[in-house]
Amino acid sequence: MIEGMIELNIAEWIDVVAVWNALLAPAHYVQESGRRLFWGFLLSALILASLVVTCQRRRFDLKGQLKALFNRRYWWQRSTAEDVGWLTANSLIRGLLLVPLLGSHLAATIVVGSALQTTFGDAPELNWSLFWIGAGYTLVFFVAEDFSRFALHRWMHVSPFLWRFHTVHHSATNLTPVTVHRVHPVEMSLYYLRGLMVFGLVSGVFLYLFGGQLHGWEILGVDCLGFLFNALGANLRHTPIWLTFGRFERWFISPAQHQIHHSAAVEHYDKNFGTCLAIWDRIGRSWLPARGQNVDKFGL
Ligand SMILES: [Zn+2]
Ligand SMILES: [Zn+2]
């Protein structure tokens, strides 16, 4: 009897710890280089924002910029409070449900690698140098990751059923870097599953082909292309700072192009679904450059 009580209490204690950890997880995002809200990426976005505003106004006004940055009216909005609410709910669902249920990225890689080994036997002999294995894996992973994000995002707009969930992200009327986490738990789960599948598939194939030689190019333990994307102002996608890439927008989606995606204007609906590469939007005829565009209002 007493033994049973102790077991029950320990089980409850473990759950409380898990809930507590999941609740606190977002607070650690600023320290994790794999997260867009990592302090280094926030700092680089801040520097880029300062440069953009200085170029727009043709003068550097530190006092004015600091005042705009710490403006209570920007941060203290219902829309931003809702962002934090969705972020917390998603962290709980991911930590308590998705990760324990779906397993780790490493497990998915081993499952795919083993399935290939069982089905096709030993991998063909490929004499790639470590340099080309790293370059190939980094590039294939980046393209697969970017395309799958585009495809899922587009699907969430095209399907009336999925659009109901995606409206949560588009209902933001005030864009701050936290808005990236303003997604319905169904959308977050779909993206989590997508990430697991892409990682498992790409890493599994490379593990099968190259075994222990498999490695990717990394910066601070994060894949280098994803790191560069975040370091080059990805946080400005969810801000009113109008950073465009000019002619490079044919290849890369700029923060201003994602702001167009959030625009409440009808002519901006269903434009620029992409995350990093612009090629998918150009093929799908949803690409719209920022030049000549103006976003007055964010939201639905
Ligand atoms: Zn969207
Ligand atoms: Zn967005």
pLDDT along the chain (300 residues), means of 10: 55 74 87 93 96 94 93 94 96 90 85 92 86 92 96 98 98 96 96 94 93 81 87 95 96 97 96 97 97 94
Per the CB < 8 A criterion, the answer to whether 102 and 194 are in contact is no
> Residue 162 domain-assigned?
yes
* Structure tokens belonging to residue 194: 């997508």
**What integer pLDDT is reported at residue 220 of this predicted model?**
72
> Residue 295 domain-assigned?
no
**What integer pLDDT is reported at residue 3 of this predicted model?**
54
Q: Locate all alpha helices (DSSP H) within the chain, ordered by sequence.
A: 2-24, 39-57, 62-69, 72-75, 78-93, 99-102, 105-120, 130-158, 160-170, 185-210, 224-231, 255-261, 279-283
**What integer pLDDT is reported at residue 222 of this predicted model?**
77
The C-alpha atoms of residue 295 and residue 73 are separated, in whole angstroms, by 19
> Residue 297 domain-assigned?
no
Q: How many degrees, rounded to 5, is the angle at CA 227 between CA 94 and CA 144?
A: 70
> Residue 252 domain-assigned?
yes
> Residue 158 domain-assigned?
yes
Q: Which ligand is nearest to the CA of 154?
A: 1
Domain that holds residue 74: 2-283
Q: Which ligand is nearest to the CA of 162?
A: 1
Q: How far is the CA of 276 from the centre of ligand 1 (A)?
A: 14
> Residue 296 domain-assigned?
no
**What integer pLDDT is reported at residue 19 of this predicted model?**
85
Strand partners, 222: 219
Q: How far is the CA of 252 from the centre of ligand 2 (A)?
A: 16
> Residue 298 domain-assigned?
no
> Residue 279 domain-assigned?
yes
Q: How far is the CA of 298 from the centre of ligand 2 (A)?
A: 10
State the total domains in the chain.
1
Q: How far is the CA of 257 from the centre of ligand 1 (A)?
A: 12
**What integer pLDDT is reported at residue 242 of this predicted model?**
96
DSSP-derived 3-state class of residue 247: helix
**What integer pLDDT is reported at residue 22 of this predicted model?**
85
